[in-house]
Amino acid sequence: MPELSKIWLSSPHMGGDEQKFVKEAFDTNWIAPLGPNVTFFEKAISDYVNDNVYVAALSSGTGAIHLALEILGVSNGDDVICQTFTFSGSANPIKYLGANPVFVDSEKETWNISPELLEKAIKDGIENGKKPKAIIAVHLYGMPYKVNKIKEVADKYNVPVIEDSAEALGSSVNNLKCGSFGTIGIFSFNGNKIITTSGGGALIAHDEEIKNKAVFLATQAREEAPHYQHNVVGYNYRMSNVLAGIGRGQMLVLDDRVSARRSNYQFYYDNLHSIKEIEFLNEPEGYYSNRWLSCILTPSFEIREKIRLALLEENIESRPLWKPMHLQPVFKDCKSYMDGTSENLFERGLCLPSGSNLEQKDLIRVVNKIKSQFL
């Protein structure tokens, strides 16, 4: 029997114009490091997000979070609140600055940071004489967090929000795009994200000064002078002009990519929702998810594993939902505010193949294999 072709969880999907923009960089010798592709890519992102945002293209989403924390004044010994149910890229930059993550659990409607537990964490911090310096809230799998409630709590105690939109380019709430809700927003263009520059990120600011500060820090904090002058510590986090060319091409097809991922989700929903052991996460009213990854919930860890291993046997990649940060050995000593929600999601949840380049026959293979487990 010929080996079944591999179905990936989420793989890069080029649109066709990427090489044209990359070639332009070569033809004009704008290879290193900045150049017109960076400017045009930033403009394309800010036009897409709208809301008069200023965009700094960077080398990664993790780097963007690092710079956001630094710009918000986070330093050694500070507390920073972070959604526990996320990828480590959200939390690691807190440690880069010598600050302490305080992890907060999720609510069940969007799987993202709970407004109630967030308020409790802030109040406790204030009572102990140590108000948290920032909040990192995440639109996990493309589903927006409760943007209004989180903003309300953050504003009440005057704590800035870093909006981790790494997975949510193209998602929105009441027609306002993700990336525009936080004090500072971030995107990722890593290889598995909804669009990719093979590796990259962006910082989204509402005021030009913050963007300029991000660019300054991202280019080794070089002061204006004919010689190399440095008054503060900088980083090498700027996006290269070659990779921004890929990004320009990807922005042209972003809406197609969102539609394709949403159709994947709809296909899984239509074909699997009648199985009583399988649950989906619906969009709350006014919420629009890019459905970066299509996720299902099963009744137990055992059933989740049974499905995952059955898919693996068929050369189909699936993944358990993110393992919460408070359960990770690297963060075991951090403070946390938990009610069991994220641990439960981690045990029972599975991400299904979700790439925008999946074909109907791939989706059918996935669905048939899952169905066969419940006959």
Ligand X SMILES: *Cc1c(COP(=O)(O)O)cnc(C)c1O
Go through the chain and tell me how many residues it has.
375
Q: Should residue 240 be labelled a site residue for ligand X when binding is judged by CB under 6 A?
A: no
Q: Should residue 185 be labelled a site residue for ligand X when binding is judged by CB under 6 A?
A: no
Edge-to-edge strand ranges of the sheet holding 294-297: 294-297, 349-352, 319-320
Asked if 86 and 322 count as a contact pair (C-beta separation under 8 A), the reply is yes
Interacting residue with ligand X among 167, 179, 251, 267 (CB under 6 A): 167
Asked if 244 and 57 count as a contact pair (C-beta separation under 8 A), the reply is yes
Asked if 100 and 335 count as a contact pair (C-beta separation under 8 A), the reply is yes
The two tokens of residue 169 are 């380019």
Read off φ and ψ for residue 169, nearest 5 degrees.
-65, 125
Interacting residue with ligand X among 10, 37, 84, 90 (CB under 6 A): 90
Question: Nearest CA to 133 among 174, 87, 108, 97?
Answer: 97
Q: Should residue 247 be labelled a site residue for ligand X when binding is judged by CB under 6 A?
A: no
Q: Should residue 62 be labelled a site residue for ligand X when binding is judged by CB under 6 A?
A: yes
User: Is the Cβ of residue 24 or residue 163 nearer to ligand X in the bound state?
Assistant: 163
Q: Cα–Cα distance between 321 and 112 in angstroms, integer?
A: 13
Using the contact rule CB under 6 A, the part of the chain among 82-90, 145-153, 225-233, 366-374 near ligand X is 82-90
Reduced to 3 states (helix: H, G, I; strand: E, B; else coil), residue 349 is strand
User: Is the Cβ of residue 54 or residue 87 nearer to ligand X in the bound state?
Assistant: 87
Q: Should residue 190 be labelled a site residue for ligand X when binding is judged by CB under 6 A?
A: yes
The two tokens of residue 83 are 């959604």
One-letter identity of residue 100: N
User: Is the Cβ of residue 24 or residue 196 nearer to ligand X in the bound state?
Assistant: 196
Q: Which of residues 197-236 bind ligand X (CB under 6 A)?
A: 201
Q: Should residue 164 be labelled a site residue for ligand X when binding is judged by CB under 6 A?
A: yes
Question: Nearest CA to 95 among 350, 356, 325?
Answer: 325
CB of 168 to ligand X, least distance (A): 9
User: Is the Cβ of residue 139 or residue 369 nearer to ligand X in the bound state?
Assistant: 139
Using the contact rule CB under 6 A, the part of the chain among 4-12, 44-52, 57-65, 152-160 near ligand X is 57-65
Q: Should residue 87 be labelled a site residue for ligand X when binding is judged by CB under 6 A?
A: yes
CB of 247 to ligand X, least distance (A): 12
DSSP letters for 88-144: HHHHHHHHHTT-EEEEE-B-TTTSSB-HHHHHHHHHHHHHTT---SEEEEE-GGGPP
Using the contact rule CB under 6 A, the part of the chain among 54-62, 150-158, 250-258, 296-304 near ligand X is 54-62
- Hunting for tokens 């967090």 — which residue is that? 145
How many residues bind to ligand X according to rule CB under 6 A?
A: 14
User: Is the Cβ of residue 138 or residue 173 nearer to ligand X in the bound state?
Assistant: 138
Interacting residue with ligand X among 10, 114, 183, 188 (CB under 6 A): 188
Q: Should residue 166 be labelled a site residue for ligand X when binding is judged by CB under 6 A?
A: yes
User: Is the Cβ of residue 93 or residue 353 nearer to ligand X in the bound state?
Assistant: 93
Q: Cα–Cα distance between 126 and 67 in angstroms, integer?
A: 25
Interacting residue with ligand X among 138, 143, 154, 321 (CB under 6 A): 138
Q: Should residue 141 be labelled a site residue for ligand X when binding is judged by CB under 6 A?
A: no
Reduced to 3 states (helix: H, G, I; strand: E, B; else coil), residue 151 is helix
Q: Cα–Cα distance between 148 and 169 in angstroms, integer?
A: 18
User: Is the Cβ of residue 277 or residue 317 nearer to ligand X in the bound state?
Assistant: 317
User: Is the Cβ of residue 46 or residue 188 nearer to ligand X in the bound state?
Assistant: 188
CB of 243 to ligand X, least distance (A): 12
- Hunting for tokens 């996320």 — which residue is that? 86
Interacting residue with ligand X among 89, 115, 353, 355 (CB under 6 A): 89
User: Is the Cβ of residue 193 or residue 304 nearer to ligand X in the bound state?
Assistant: 193
Please report which helix (H) or strand (E) contains residue 254, including its range.
Answer: helix 254-272
The two tokens of residue 254 are 């972003």
Interface ranges with ligand X (CB under 6 A): 60-62, 86-87, 89-90, 138, 164, 166-167, 188, 190, 201
